[in-house]
Amino acid sequence: MKAAYIHIPFCHHICHYCDFNKVFMKGQPVDEYLSSMEKEMELTIKGNKQTLETVFVGGGTPTALNENQLEKLVSAINRQLKTDGNTEYTFEANPGDLSKEKLSILKNAGVNRLSFGVQTFNDDLLQRIGRSHRAKDVFASIENARAAGFENISIDLIYSLPGQTKQDVIDSIQTALGLGLVHYSGYSLIIEPKTVFYNLMQKGKLPLPGEDAEAEMYVALMEQMEQNGLKQYEISNFAVPGYESKHNLTYWNNEEYYGFGAGAHGYVNGIRQSNFGPLKKYMDPLTRGELPIMDFHKVTVEEQMEEEMFLGLRKTEGVSIRQFQEKYNRDLLQFFGQQIEEWSSKGLLEMDDERIFLTREGRLLGNEVFQSFIGVSNH
């Protein structure tokens, strides 16, 4: 096991598009939650401690924790998980949340990567999507983070926001690039059920840019990143070579990872599992010394192969023919021959001696390709 995801489900503000497991922080049993989570780590690992290559603390809003809570969290992680100088240790951060004190807590705990949820540099849009921060907070946060010794910094941007134009997107990307960071993620907005945006959309009150504009925004994102020396290594991720997120690559490489916290997902010993989301349901079993697992599924070999494809093809480098052979003892080109041929002829898939990968056009229509690899081996 090389990776761990840790979920902090607390937020001071709830964004209009967010469907992750989260709650308003006020009045919540934060300290109890952190203790429960330490218990979960202890029960899960049971002395089988290995050095992790990546630890990712996400949310929710991990930086919503106050200094004491943050201290409690990082020391719990420190007690339960084994990391070393090579471990990529990331905290998700909300711009404006990280005081000098919090930064130093993180730095001292060995955190070496920060990922800021910036979304856009247009203040009107930020307000409209329910974010509490403004563009100026981003500049200040990055400056403080650098001053505290953080170099490996990433920001997330979202495009295809309601009322957003292609020019807005380009402006945000250029501002982001102006910060000279080593890593950027650019996600298109997805409207999920049980969000403010979903309800607005149902009422016809959400002016989304539409598929054509979204495609143009995505192409602009890829072009801007390329022109500035950031290599696209996954559908939504760009990095200076050497700074790719090891944690995210764990997912795309179809490798295993722990998932700690309420509503967190893990992939442990061939089983994909998820924890209870509601805090009480998550914490109660842990007080009895039981794991709060809500759902689990043993992934069959066929499913593993399918996942290898629809996850692996998200990466620019695609899926390695040799590794597929080693992992599954199957010839990729034969096993998925029909799909590979179909999408190659339609110009969405390409291959060389070593790998098969999406074309630039294929990145825009990835789901069309991914679908075809699913459920094939069921019969």
Return residues touching another protein (CB under 8 A).
5, 7, 20, 58, 186-188, 190, 211-212, 214-215, 218, 235-236, 248, 251, 257, 259, 264-267, 272, 274, 297, 303, 306-307, 310-311, 346, 363-368, 370-372, 374-375
Which is it for the CA torsion 205, 206, 211, 217, positive or negative? Answer: positive
Q: Which is nearer to another protein, 6 or 103 (CB)?
A: 6
Q: Which is nearer to another protein, 243 or 343 (CB)?
A: 343
Q: Which is nearer to another protein, 148 or 365 (CB)?
A: 365
Cβ at position 367, least distance to another protein in Å: 5
Cβ at position 68, least distance to another protein in Å: 25
DSSP characters over 242-287? T---HHHHHHHTT--BEEESTT-EEEETTEEEEE--SHHHHHHHHH
Q: Which is nearer to another protein, 105 or 319 (CB)?
A: 319
Find, among 185, 189, 138, 183, the residue nearest to 159 by Cα: 189
Cβ at position 120, least distance to another protein in Å: 15
Cβ at position 148, least distance to another protein in Å: 26
Q: Which amino acid, 17?
A: Y
Q: Which is nearer to another protein, 128 or 272 (CB)?
A: 272
DSSP characters over 317-374? T-EEHHHHHHHHSS-HHHHTHHHHHHHHHTTSEEE-SSEEEE-HHHHHTHHHHHHHTS
Cβ neighbours around 201 below 10 Å, total: 15
Give 81's contacts (C-beta < 8 A, 6+ positions apart). Answer: 4, 41, 45, 49, 52, 55
Q: Which is nearer to another protein, 20 or 328 (CB)?
A: 20
Cβ at position 94, least distance to another protein in Å: 16
Cα–Cα distance for residue pair 132/158, rounded to 1 Å: 15
Return the structure tokens found at 197: 């945006």
Cα–Cα distance for residue pair 294/227, rounded to 1 Å: 45
Cβ at position 222, least distance to another protein in Å: 12
